[in-house]
């Protein structure tokens, strides 16, 4: 659902970018531990940087239920790196581009950012 093609950005010049918006229902069971009570709103910017993609979540907004508590998610300007290859110097904060399909998958990143808000 959140696999975004990035072949055009990888083939383009450094600092080329694309903005996307999404607003829609997330069905129960999409995430095992999070239930969406309102539609998820995302505004993202994808930026080409040499051989990797920077994803900036300009906005993540939704009301979610996590561990029987309702949370109002409203986050801005979260950056994530998606690399072509493994970077041993920073293995935890980097995701990878699916080079077979030339996509970035935002599903896990969205979940992580929602959980960070829920457990802060």
31-59 pLDDT, tens digit each: 999 999 999 999 999 999 988 999 999 99
Domains contained in the chain, number = 1
Closest to 59 in 3D by CA, of 43, 48, 47: 43
Question: Which pLDDT band holds residue 92 (cuts at 50, 70, 90)?
Answer: low
User: What is the predicted pLDDT for the residue at 84?
Assistant: 86
Is 1 strand, coil or helix? coil
**What is the domain range of residue 54?**
3-119
Closest to 20 in 3D by CA, of 9, 30, 32: 9
Cα–Cα distances in angstroms (integers) from residue 68 to residues 20, 34, 97, in the given order: 31, 10, 34
Question: Which pLDDT band holds residue 6 (cuts at 50, 70, 90)?
Answer: very high
């Amino acid at each position: 659902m959140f696999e975004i093609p990035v072949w055009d950005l990888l083939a383009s010049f450094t600092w080329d970018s694309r903005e996307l918006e999404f607003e829609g229902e997330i069905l129960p069971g999409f995430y095992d531990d999070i239930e969406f009570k309102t539609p998820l709103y995302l505004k993202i910017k994808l930026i080409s940087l040499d051989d990797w993609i920077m994803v900036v979540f300009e906005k993540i907004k939704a009301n979610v239920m996590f561990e029987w508590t309702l949370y109002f998610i409203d986050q801005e300007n979260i950056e994530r790196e998606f690399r072509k290859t493994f970077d041993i110097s920073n293995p935890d904060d980097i995701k990878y581009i699916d080079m077979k399909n030339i996509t970035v998958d935002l599903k896990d990143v969205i979940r992580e950012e929602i959980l960070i808000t829920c457990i802060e």
